[in-house]
Amino acid sequence: MTRILDIQNLSTHIELSHSVVQAVGDVSLHIGAGETLGLVGESGCGKSITGLSIMGLLPPGGKVVEGSIKLEGRELIGMPESEMRKIRGNDIAMIFQDSSSSLNPTKTIGDQVAEPVRLHRGGSKKEAVDRAIEVLELVGVPRAKERLADYPHQLSGGLRQRVMIAIALTCDPKVLIADEPTTALDVTIQAQILMLLDGLKDRFGMSILLITHDMGVVAGRADRVNVMYAGRMVEATDTKEIFSHMRHPYTQGLLASIPRMDQDNSRTLFSIPGIPPDLTSPPQGCRFAPRCGFVQADCRLNEPHLSGDDSHVAACFHPVTDGLLRPEMMVSVSHGRVLKEENTSEIPLLEIKDLVKTFPVTSGAILRRKVGKVHAVSGVSLTVRSGEIFGLVGESGCGKSTLGRMIVGLERPDSGEVLLEGEDVFSLRRRELARKRRDLQMMFQDPYGSLDPRMRVAAILKEPLSIQGMDSRKEQEARSLELMREVGLPSKALERFPHEFSGGQRQRIGLARALTLSPKLIVADEPVSALDVSIRSQVLNLMKRLQVSHDMAYLVISHDLAVVKYLADRIGVMYLGKLVEVALGEDLYAHPAHPYTQGLINTIPLPDPDIERNKDKDVISGELPSPIRPPSGCRFRTRCPRAQDICAQEEPQLKDFGRLHQAACHFPLIDPLEGVGVSLKKSAM
């Protein structure tokens, strides 16, 4: 195959005020005509900098220090800027992660799409606009002509991403660099955009460099995969090969660290210990050596180079041969109280009854009148038993975080009750509530914002005890040490300030803080979504282990069904403020009753090329309706393939579909149990 793009020994450094980040070192890759190359790695591994090096768009201080980048034989490194400009947006186009910041907020869509046409193709303004309409239609922007005068903020996230793709396509590029094109999007929209990219590639036969952290995304569409770690290329081969016969221990560990929906969640997830090296002073020898389970003396002394035959290269002295690590090979871990039988006499640890929360939307000239409400949570009931992990999953804007904040008392519901061991949290008096909080703690999403930057870790861990007036100073210290050990951090970490830790370490500290009061329930709001894959599995395993050893319950909130599936015993699915389905994890995955659940399961990319390529390509169409004016009847009906008239008229109630399995749908995918009239209250227990 002819090499459209050929990169040899590329090294890119970024100069900071006091140090130099060796972001990309000695990286070679090539893309053939019509080929899709997946470039994968975790954040900071240099994959995006590689993409930007090709475009010549490095951030300030960035410089290619060595190597060559050839486009159809033409050397791009050292090419005069005026020549390079003719290539950018014309021969090589790039799409970025965040469409909300990548489109100019003060220019119309039409202008922005037409701009490269005029620049590279010349021609009249009219021709450019015609071309803009053409590509906008091509990328699936409905009524493209009417959209030309719109500004980016008037479009939804999915549409904006389509517009960005349209901009890239206007001049029929030979190479399209897609840098995390779907990372900022919800799964249902991600699936739509990925399908669009697949379709466009088939139609135009361009080469795609797909830069992503998501193994599932490359599994479904890349012809070959290159894996980067700490600025180095560590492995490169065919997609099938990399998922089944990887040679580099990092690739092996990375793939095994990804929680998969189709796996038994009673087995621990593999995780790579430690954190990636600091690229301002990378270690001698193999950069993965400090975290590698197969490390030997030579790994620390010399750096391995890519070796192997043309079809498969890896940079490792001691390559692995045992293929993908299956969960069956892992140690098993208890995952809490598997609900073997219904025990209706027991008072649930947490019971939520008909919780409703709206946020006012105000407008008006003088007196701010309430003109509407955002219906964040609309009548959700659920229970969490002691020792259970309950997972709550849904896309952004479904109300899951608001629900979590109401449970811990950070938001007050408009109506409904939150019962903790039978007591209504919101009717408690201040002092009683403060005491009750010992049983109810929270873990936050943002590892940067959830720790007070001015407090040492020791003070952060003691704070809950001090607030609750518990334990003497000495006992508090002993407790902090114990907690540090439990979350896998060295005791010297106690003296340090939050800014000295990496994201994963900070989440550990956040978990330790939540544990300090030995709560009965921890609400974890997206506890791992800010973390990289290898770090994520560390934290997930830690959460799981601590849940068992402390005999507590979690309510885990996440947009990622795979994460929830791995952690949780039972899973609730939310859509636009409503709980649409709740079931045991296995049941939910194997026999979803609600079309939305089915759609979610279908759209999540699995890190397995065999499954991913033969998957049912039915994705959920359309976008999330406005929560200010939610659809009547069933809120999912506007995007549901099974919707009929009754769905608009009548709101479906939760029906029983099996043990601990309920869903709210008029036309469910599986048959409900007999006696639909089973009372809600009883079954909710």
Applying the rule CB under 8 A, the residues between 356 and 385 that interact with another protein are 363-366
Rounded-to-integer distance, Cα 351 and Cα 463, Å: 28
Residue with tokens 């930057």: 453
Residues 538-567 interacting with another protein (rule: CB under 8 A): 538, 541-542, 545, 548-549
628 binds another protein (CB under 8 A): no
**Nearest approach, Cβ of residue 675 and another protein (Å):** 26
Q: For another protein, which is the closer residue by CB, 61 or 622?
A: 61
**Nearest approach, Cβ of residue 623 and another protein (Å):** 19
Q: For another protein, which is the closer residue by CB, 106 or 472?
A: 106
Selected from 271, 476, 597, 662, the binder of another protein by CB under 8 A is 271
Which two structure tokens, joined as six digits, stand for 446?
A: 């943002």
87 binds another protein (CB under 8 A): yes
Residue 279 CB contacts under 8 Å (≥ 6 apart), including other chains:
21, 22, 23, 44, 46, 230, 231
Q: For another protein, which is the closer residue by CB, 103 or 258?
A: 103
Rounded-to-integer distance, Cα 63 and Cα 356, Å: 54
**285: helix, coil or strand?**
coil
Q: At what angle do helices 457-467 and 473-486 cross, to 10 degrees?
A: 120
**Nearest approach, Cβ of residue 29 and another protein (Å):** 20
Which two structure tokens, joined as six digits, stand for 351?
A: 């019971």
Instruction: Confirm if 42 and 272 have CB atoms less than 8 A apart.
Output: no
**Nearest approach, Cβ of residue 608 and another protein (Å):** 19
433 binds another protein (CB under 8 A): yes
Residues 54-73 interacting with another protein (rule: CB under 8 A): 55, 57, 60
Residues 292-331 interacting with another protein (rule: CB under 8 A): 293, 325, 327, 329-331
**Nearest approach, Cβ of residue 508 and another protein (Å):** 5
Which two structure tokens, joined as six digits, stand for 64?
A: 């290619």
Q: For another protein, which is the closer residue by CB, 28 or 43?
A: 43
Q: For another protein, which is the closer residue by CB, 301 or 410?
A: 410
Residues 563-592 interacting with another protein (rule: CB under 8 A): none
80 binds another protein (CB under 8 A): no
Residues 94-133 interacting with another protein (rule: CB under 8 A): 94, 96, 98, 101-107, 115-116, 119-120
- Identify which of 446, 425, 449 has the alpha carbon closest to the alpha carbon of residue 437: 425
597 binds another protein (CB under 8 A): no
Burial of 602-618, coded b for 16+ CB within 10 Å and e otherwise, reads bbbbbbbbeebeebeee
Q: For another protein, which is the closer residue by CB, 256 or 634?
A: 256
**Nearest approach, Cβ of residue 459 and another protein (Å):** 9
Residue with tokens 């009754």: 646
Residues 233-262 interacting with another protein (rule: CB under 8 A): 253, 256
Please give the C-alpha separations between residue 211 and each of 27, 86, 168, 272, in angstroms, as whole numbers: 14, 23, 15, 22
**Nearest approach, Cβ of residue 103 and another protein (Å):** 6
Return the range that interacts with another protein (CB under 8 A); candidates 271-279, 581-589, 645-653, 655-663: 271-279
Q: For another protein, which is the closer residue by CB, 48 or 378?
A: 48
Selected from 472, 499, 674, 679, the binder of another protein by CB under 8 A is 499
Q: For another protein, which is the closer residue by CB, 369 or 617?
A: 369
What type of residue sits at position 225?
A: V
**Nearest approach, Cβ of residue 399 and another protein (Å):** 18
139 binds another protein (CB under 8 A): no
272 binds another protein (CB under 8 A): yes
Strand ranges for 560-632 from DSSP E: 570-575, 578-584
Rounded-to-integer distance, Cα 180 and Cα 199, Å: 18
Instruction: Confirm if 121 and 160 have CB atoms less than 8 A apart.
Output: no
Rounded-to-integer distance, Cα 199 and Cα 202, Å: 5
**How many chain residues are in contact with another protein, going by CB under 8 A?**
117
Q: Is the dihedral of CA 340, 344, 350, 354 positive or negative?
A: positive
86 binds another protein (CB under 8 A): yes
48 binds another protein (CB under 8 A): no
Selected from 32, 34, 274, 379, the binder of another protein by CB under 8 A is 274
Q: For another protein, which is the closer residue by CB, 562 or 579?
A: 562
Residues 180-209 interacting with another protein (rule: CB under 8 A): none
- Identify which of 210, 523, 488 has the alpha carbon closest to the alpha carbon of residue 389: 523
Which two structure tokens, joined as six digits, stand for 212?
A: 């992503």
Rounded-to-integer distance, Cα 518 and Cα 422, Å: 19
Residues 391-410 interacting with another protein (rule: CB under 8 A): 405, 408-410
- Identify which of 196, 187, 261 has the alpha carbon closest to the alpha carbon of residue 575: 187
Residues 650-669 interacting with another protein (rule: CB under 8 A): none
Longest dimension (CA), the chain: 79
Q: Looking at 205-237, list the stretches that DSSP marks H as alpha helix, in order from N- to C-terminal side.
A: 215-221
Rounded-to-integer distance, Cα 31 and Cα 210, Å: 11
- Identify which of 286, 370, 363, 293 has the alpha carbon closest to the alpha carbon of residue 325: 293
Q: For another protein, which is the closer residue by CB, 12 or 445?
A: 445
Return the range that interacts with another protein (CB under 8 A); candidates 302-310, 391-399, 506-514, 596-604: 506-514
**Nearest approach, Cβ of residue 439 and another protein (Å):** 11
β-pair partners for 224: 37, 238
**Nearest approach, Cβ of residue 152 and another protein (Å):** 9
16 binds another protein (CB under 8 A): no
**Nearest approach, Cβ of residue 34 and another protein (Å):** 22
Residue 176's CB: how many other CB atoms inside 10 A?
23
**Nearest approach, Cβ of residue 384 and another protein (Å):** 16
**Nearest approach, Cβ of residue 247 and another protein (Å):** 17
Residues 335-354 interacting with another protein (rule: CB under 8 A): 335-341
Residue 366 CB contacts under 8 Å (≥ 6 apart), including other chains:
none
Residues 438-497 interacting with another protein (rule: CB under 8 A): 438, 440-442, 444-446, 448-454, 456, 463-464, 467-468, 485, 487-490, 492-493, 495-497
Quick one: 573 exposed, middle or buried, by C-beta within 10 A (0-12, 13-18, 19+)? buried
CA 371: distance to chain centroid?
34
Q: For another protein, which is the closer residue by CB, 137 or 463?
A: 463
Quick one: 43 exposed, middle or buried, by C-beta within 10 A (0-12, 13-18, 19+)? middle
Strand ranges for 403-539 from DSSP E: 415-420, 423-424, 440-443, 521-525
Selected from 133, 135, 167, 392, the binder of another protein by CB under 8 A is 167
